[in-house]
Amino acid sequence: MGKLNFYQIINKPDQLKKYENFDVFYKTKQGYCLYKKHDQSFTEARLQLGLHPDELFITFNDRVSIIRNKQHKLNNDIKKSIKVDVDKARESISELITVTLSEPRSEILKEIKNTINIIVKEFLEDPEVVIQLTKVSLHDYSTTLHLTNCMLFCIGYGYYSDFNEFDIKTLGLMGLLHDVGKIEIPDYILQSDRRLSDEEFEIIKQHPIKSKSILSNSNFDKKVILSAYEHHERLDGSGYPKGKKSNEINEWSKIMSIIDIFEALTNWRPYKQAMPTLEALKILKKEVTDSKIDKTYFEKFARSLIGMKKV
């Protein structure tokens, strides 16, 4: 089968129905062989009796097109529900991010731009509608939720700091993609409700590097890639992964770091309660005093929260 890449599918009757219209393959010692063509169906008898090979595959190109179709559908759902059913819109955004992160390759990541376009367009027409999206349910922590919230805070930051539409979209993308590398960190570390060991923390500290390498293969704005790489750096050089100092850190990364800290403080995590907004702002203010984060961006962010009625 030449240079085709393959992706193993779940070999259960209810799952296989999804692949009715695709070529399906099985593996032999010699390589991958066609099991059924895209215009053939899995026969009921085969499905029920399990008379098919244990391991079935589709081509990687088909996997990408399945994900892209799903992304299109979810973006349409977001467009339709954002004005009329905030909960549904939020659910669709989460699902879209989850689907996107299941295969973060450039052709799949680029669909996220459409999501941002939909949300920013709505925000510019009626901020109130999108502000409703930031109402989060407690005890529901995931990287997806963190990314959704950060995206909304980033859009709010741009809007209330008079950024132009293009820059607001770039900020939104930054928020949505800055932690994309976390998909390569094991869940038992990310979801841990105990203090992490030094070794585990070292593994977590790799995520900006992983984010950068995932995003570098895409054609996103450089600022989006840089903020994924630098959002844990601190002005005094105490951050990671490089320990960069203020003059070495991109300005947009400095904004991202403030929003990232705020989101982490104000939302529930397996190991801590959610903190009220004012208390979180006090902690951020201390970070300003300690020369960790930028004063001007902090003040602008606090002002945007007032605009977003989060204070």
Question: Which residues lie near Fe ion (CB under 5 A)?
Answer: 179
Phi and psi (nearest 5°) for 201?
Answer: -65, -35
Question: Looking at beta carbons only, is 63 or 232 nearer to Fe ion?
Answer: 232
Question: Looking at beta carbons only, is 179 or 287 nearer to Fe ion?
Answer: 179
- CB half-sphere exposure, 38, CA atoms < 13 A: 6
Contact call for residues 9 and 36 (beta carbons, < 8 A): no
Taking the complex as a whole, the smallest distance from the CB of residue 240 to Fe ion amounts, in Å, to: 10
Burial annotation 112-145 (CB, 10 A radius, 16+ → b, else e) = bbbbbebbbebbeeebebbbebbebeeeebebbb
In single-letter form, the type of residue at position 272 comes to K
Contact call for residues 263 and 269 (beta carbons, < 8 A): no
Question: Looking at beta carbons only, is 50 or 243 nearer to Fe ion?
Answer: 243
CA distance 296 to 311: 18
**Rounded (5°) CA angle 45-47-51:** 80
Question: Looking at beta carbons only, is 111 or 179 nearer to Fe ion?
Answer: 179
Taking the complex as a whole, the smallest distance from the CB of residue 69 to Fe ion amounts, in Å, to: 30
Taking the complex as a whole, the smallest distance from the CB of residue 144 to Fe ion amounts, in Å, to: 14
CA distance 87 to 52: 41
Question: Looking at beta carbons only, is 179 or 263 nearer to Fe ion?
Answer: 179
Taking the complex as a whole, the smallest distance from the CB of residue 236 to Fe ion amounts, in Å, to: 18
Closest CA to 176 of 132, 236, 119, 234: 119
Question: Looking at beta carbons only, is 16 or 284 nearer to Fe ion?
Answer: 284
Taking the complex as a whole, the smallest distance from the CB of residue 154 to Fe ion amounts, in Å, to: 14
Taking the complex as a whole, the smallest distance from the CB of residue 129 to Fe ion amounts, in Å, to: 28
CA dist list (Å): 152 to 143, 159, 199, 249: 14, 10, 33, 23
Joined tokens for residue 113: 């731009």
Q: What residue is closest to Fe ion based on CB?
A: 179
